[in-house]
Amino acid sequence: MSVAHQAHLRLLIENSQLCMHPSLVAELALGLLPERRKTHEYLDRLTPLSAVTLADVRQMIEARSLAAKGIGLTDAHLIASCLATPGTRLWARDEKLGKVAESLGIRAHFP
């Protein structure tokens, strides 16, 4: 991550403008995290993004024609939660998720 991205993220955090989806926190917990306890404590301090129901996610998939776009269920949950929370943008390093977020107008762009 570039110094500019780090500075931008720091600013978002300081202004309480960065949120985290609970499913993403769980996904990260399954991986190899540096300083696990400290990382979990840090993630738990971020504003949680409201999760939507599985039924709402399925409805969004059909309404937005998101089948066969190369994203998974967690990605779809992230997108649905962003769409359900006006003004929320998705920071995606994953190419397929980024393309879908871009097509829906919710991809975050950093300086």
Q: In whole angstroms, what is the distance from residue 37 CA to residue 54 CA?
A: 30
How does strand 19-20 pair with strand 47-48? Answer: parallel
CB atoms within 10 A of CB 63: 9
Q: Residues 78-110: pLDDT tens digits?
A: 999 999 999 999 988 899 999 999 999 999 887
Alpha carbon 36 to its chain centroid, in Å, reads 20
E strands within 1-111? 19-20, 47-48
Q: What type of residue sits at position 87? A: G
Q: Residues 40-68: pLDDT tens digits?
A: 888 888 888 988 999 999 999 999 999 99
pTM (two decimals): 0.83
Q: Residues 9-24: pLDDT tens digits?
A: 788 777 777 888 988 8
Contact at 8 Å (CB) between 51 and 76? Answer: no
